[in-house]
Homo-oligomer: A and B are copies of this chain.
């Protein structure tokens, strides 16, 4: 369903929808046991929920496409990720509540380590702490690009920061300086259009200033920039879906993403109990809650099969709290797969279940990939999950006479 149809059919109702995202949930069989992380995990509560849910596997973007975190989440929010795409710079800026102006160009920055020849040896500068990062950012704020363009710098977390260029005529059609690998030098930014060329020149000037300032600050002796982007002007969930939507997410990028579609990003600690407490406190204020659980993806990205299993089991032990809040619709899914065997995001389809008193339950025995593959939703586009949830929550009108 595209957003125009969603806007036409959506209606208000006294119902609650909860989307619980276990980041990077989908997995692959362990080479020894032939079981995926979800199959290996002991998940009696999730399994019971699956029995009473309508089930399937989602395709976040398109078959074969490995999604970044942005597209994976946007699909779950009901936005076609092939239509609504956003640069990393904007996500990072939105995630720290930076008030981006329409003409601003934002980039994601990394402090990194280079050797005497300028070759990158550590893209994260030994993951310097947030406190040190803030000191360095204070120094970077002194870099001047002249009178017409300001270079705003804000720390994000650890080695990450945001650079925002503010002024007239700036373009986000400039290339990254971050080569995204070690063993090579930082790249010069380039633009192809007139505005792009002018902006790239400013970017390179700024990087040069940063390098000078950071020269004696090893391990953070250089800065890398990527994902130059302007703030998109997207339809908001309140208008399209007629829901007051909240994000319960600890990590900046997911908060930023949620804000781009008009969710209010609630302040929340890193633990699962923190999320559920915030959810309970804000239960009456919203119709829709996106609750983000990061640890499954982090374990998968680290290639740590056992830890991913543990993190799934942590959710299983706590999911009852969520069920007891009695949302009218509870979806449990992921934004993409992150198989521990691959230690990376992947294209594989993603476990999905939707629990509601109006669900025609598929009686899947377990909450894992092979069991959910037999669900009646089959393997379906993730962007269809929000309309499905709205239907089960009495929030979609009949189409046609």
Interface of A toward B, CB cutoff 8 Å: 1, 5, 9, 28-29, 36, 57, 61-71, 81-82, 85-88, 91, 108, 227, 342, 345-349, 358, 360-363, 369-370, 373-380, 384, 387-392, 396-401
Contact = CB atoms under 8 A, between A and B. Distances in A.
A28 B360 contact: yes
A401 B65 contact: no
B87 A401 contact: yes
Contacts of A378: 378-379
A348 B377 CA distance: 10
Nearest to A71: B400
B68 A398 contact: yes
A352 to B, nearest CB: 12
Nearest to A388: B64
Given A391-B65, A399-B61, A370 B363 contact: yes
Nearest to A372: B376
Contacts of A390: 64
Nearest to A55: B373
A86 B373 contact: no
Given A65-B391, A67-B399, 11 more contacts: A1-B62, A9-B65, A61-B399, A61-B400, A62-B387, A63-B388, A66-B398, A108-B401, A347-B388, A347-B396, A379-B380
Contacts of A396: 64-66, 347
A57 B345 CA distance: 26
B376 A66 contact: no
A61 to B, nearest CB: 5
A81 B1 contact: no
Contact of A399 (B68, B387, B388, B400): B68
A397 B358 CA distance: 39
A401 B362 contact: no
B70 A401 contact: yes
Contacts of A57: 376
B360 A36 contact: yes
A387 B65 contact: yes
A369 to B, nearest CB: 6
